[in-house]
Amino acid sequence: MIKNLREQTEILREKAIDPYATSPEISPPVTPILRKEDYIRMKEEERIAKEEADKKKAEEAAKKAEEKKKKDEEKRLQAEMKQTEERIAAEAKKKMKKIFPDGIYACLDFVSAPFENKMDTILGNTLDGLDRRYITWLAVVAVVFNYNIWLCTARMVFPYHNEVVNPYWITFDILTDLVNVIDIIIWQPRIQFVKGGDIITDRMVCKEHYRKSQRFVTDMISIIPFDLLCLYSGFSSVYRVNRFLRIDNFFEFSDRLESIMAKAYIWRVIRTTGYLLYALHINACAFYVASMYQGLGTTTWVYDGQGNAYLRCYYYAVRSLINIGGLNEPHTVFEITFQMTNFFIGVFVFSSLIGQMRDVIGAATAGETYFRASMDGCVDYMNTYSIPREVQNRIRTWYNYTWAAQGMLDESELLDKMPLVMRTAIAVDINLSTFQKIALFQGCDQQMLVDMLLRLKSIVYLPGDFVVKKGDIGKEMYIIKSGAVQVVGGPDNSIVFVTLKAGSVFGEISLLQSAKDGGNRRTANVKAHGFANLFVLEKKDLFDILVHYPESQKVLARKGRKLTKAKGPAPAKDNEAKPKGVTMFGQKPPTPKMMKLFQNMKKAANK
C-alpha cells in the first residue's frame, strides 16, 4: 500500500510539473474519421435497414391484428348463434308454459263467468282492501283456516275417525274447501292494488295481477284435492296439510281488522292468546304420539288411555310447557328426552309470548301512561313551589277532563304528524261550515278560510274560568267547539246577558281593530258555563294569512269598519259645552301666608 501511494505521488508530482504528461488511465478509442461520401453512404444504409425493420414489424403487427380480428369475429358469431338458440328455446318454453295456464284460465273464466257477473251487481267490479265486506269475508276465510290447522292436526293424531263421524268430517271439509275456492275465484281477483302510485281499479288488470303473484300459486297448491287419495289408502286428514298454506289470508285478515278497529289492542291480545293455545295444542298432539310410541299405559309418564284423550293430553301440555310441575317422572331415555325438550321449548315459547303480550298491553296503555306521567310531573312542580291547593285541584280537573274529552292533552301533537292534505280535510270537516256563517268572513276567499282553519288552536276552559275580561287587549277570536260560555256583567258578574253554545263565535271584531285610542279593548266579560272547549285564532296568524289575499284583506277592512261603528260606543254630542281659556285650569289657589308676609315687608322697606 505504501509503495502504491508513493508511485501515485510521483506521477502526480510529474503531472504538476509537466501538464502534458499522460494519465495512467486507459484512453478511450478514437473514432475513425471517414470521408464525406463514406459517411453519407453509411447513414443511408442505416436508414434503409431501420425502415426495413420497421416495415417488418408493422407487417407482423397487422398480421397479428388480422388474426385477432378473425378470432373475435368467430367468437362473436358463435355467441350470437348461441344466444339466438337460447332465445328461441326460451320463447318456445315460455309458449309451452303459457299455453297450459291460459287454457286453464280460459276454461275457469268460462265456467265462472255467470256467477262472477251476478256477483258484480253485489260487490262491484273491484273492491278496496279496506272494504268492510271484504274484511267480513276474510273473517270467514280465517275461521276456515283455523278449522284446518286445529282440527286436522287433532284428527291426524287422536282417534276421531270412525264410520259414525266420518260423514260429518267430509261435509265440513267440503264446505271449507268451497269457501277457499270462492275466495280464489270471486274475491281475490277483485282486490285493487297500487302500481306506480296509481290505484288500479280495472277488473281484468286486477285479475291478471293476482294470477301472476306468488300468492296465487300458493292458493292453487292449497286447494289441490289430495283428499281423493283416501279412496285408496283410507280416510285420513293428513292429505289436507296443504290447506295450511293459506296462512297469508289469516295474517291479511289480522292486519286489515287492526286498521279499522278503534281499539286494535283487543284483537292483538286475542291473537296472542290464540298463539299460546295453539302451541299447547301442538304439544298435546305430540304427547299423544309419544304415548302411542311408548304404548298407552305402559309407564306412569305416558297417557294411560283413560278418559278424554285430548283433554288429558292438553292438561299435560299446560303443566309441561308452562313448567308448573307436578308431572309423573319419566323412566325411559325417550321419555326423559321428550320431557327435557318440552321444558326447553316451553321456556323459549312462553317467554316470547309473554314478552309479546307485554308489548301489546304496553302499547294499549301507552297513552294513559303518558297522561299519568305528565300529570305527576305537574303535581310535583306545584308541590315544589307550594301552589295553593285550590289552584292544584283546578289543574287536576283540567287534566282529567281534557284527557277524557279528547284522549290526549294536545291535539296538535297528532295533527302535526299528518300530511297537510289530511290536516286540511279534518279542519274543513269540523269548522268550515261555522266559519262560513261568520258575518265578518262572508265574501272572503274560500282558500283563505281553509288557511285560517289550519291556524286554530284548541283550548279547554273549566267551569267559571273567564275567557275574556272587560278592558283586556283583544288579540284573539273564539269558536265554541263544545260546551257553552256566558256574557256576564254587573257588580259581581252575576247578570247573564246571553249564553253562547257550540258553533257560536265571539271576539272577531278585535282581530281587525287597532290599538289606537284603545279600540281593541274587550267590552264585556265572557266566562265558561261548565266545561268549554274553544278554538282560538290569533290576530298575528290572521295577518300572516292576509298577506297572500289582498282582496280578502280589503273586504275584511271594510266590514271591520262597519261592524265597529255598529257595535262601538256612541259618539260624543256636538253641542256639548267644552271648557276654553283659563276655565280649563280651574280657580286660582290663594297665596300662602308666608308669601304674604314677605310681600308686606318688601312694601314697607320701599316706603
Per-residue pLDDT tens for 183-197? 998 899 999 998 888
Res. 564: pLDDT tops 80: no
Same domain? 205 vs 118:
yes
Domain assignment present for residue 387? The answer is no
Please provide residue 99's backbone torsions phi and psi, each rounded to the nearest 5 degrees: -65, -45
Residues 343 and 448 grouped into a single domain: no
- Distance, in Å, from the CA atom of 344 to the CA atom of 333, rounded to the nearest integer, reads 17
Out of 307-316, 410-419, 555-564, 570-579, the most confident range is: 307-316
Whether residue 453 is found in the same domain as residue 316 = no
Buried b (16+ CB within 10 A) or exposed e, 242-271: bbebbeebbebbbebbeeeeeebbeebeeb
Residue 309, in any domain of the structure: yes
What distance in Å separates the CA atoms of residue 169 and residue 157, rounded to the nearest whole number?
A: 15
When pLDDT is cut at 50, 70 and 90, the band that residue 584 belongs to is: very low
Q: How far apart are CA 134 and CA 255, in angstroms?
A: 13
* Cβ within 8 Å of residue 274, ≥6 positions away: none
Domain around 550? 417-566
Looking up cell 508511485 gives 7
Q: Is position 213 within any domain?
A: yes
Q: Are residues 338 and 427 in the same domain?
A: no
Please indicate, yes or no, whether residues 114 and 237 belong to a single structural domain of this protein.
yes
- pLDDT for residue 527: 92
Task: List Cβ neighbours of 221 (8 Å cut-off, separation of 6 or more).
Answer: 242, 245
Asked whether residue 94 is assigned to any structural domain, the reply reads no
The residue behind cell 283413560 is: 306
Same domain, 151 and 243: yes
Residue at 372 is within a domain: no
* Interatomic CA distance for residues 245 and 503, integer angstroms: 55
- Exposed/middle/buried for 160, CB within 10 Å: 0-12, 13-18, 19+? middle
Percent of the chain exceeding pLDDT 70 equals 85
Which of 332, 355, 378 represents a domain boundary (last residue)?
A: 355
Q: Are residues 427 and 334 in the same domain?
A: no
Q: Do 214 and 291 fall within a single domain?
A: yes
Point out the domain boundary residue: 355, 371, 403.
355
**Residues 198, 344: one domain?**
yes
Which three cell numbers, joined as nine digits, stand for 236?
Answer: 285420513
CATH code, domain with 561 = 2.60.120.10
- Counting the structural domains of the chain, the total is 2
Considering 334, 355, 376, which residue would you say is the last residue of a domain? Answer: 355
Shared domain for 224 and 145, answered yes or no, is: yes
Q: Quick one: pLDDT at residue 16?
A: 67
Cell of 522: 274587550
Residue 198, beta-bridge partner list: 195
Mean pLDDT across the chain: 83
Please name the amino acid found at residue 582.
V
Residue 34 lies inside a defined structural domain of this protein: no
| Residues 455 and 318 both lie in one domain | no
- The answer to pTM > 0.95 is no
What pLDDT, on the 0 to 100 scale, is given for residue 30? 55
What 3-state class would DSSP assign to 380?
helix
Both 313 and 432 in a single domain? no
CA–CA–CA angle 157, 158, 160 (5° rounding): 125
Residue 457 lies in a domain: yes
Residue 367, pLDDT score: 81
Output the pLDDT for position 516: 52
Beta-bridged to residue 477, according to DSSP, are 537
pLDDT of residue 605: 56
Residue 378 placed within a domain? no
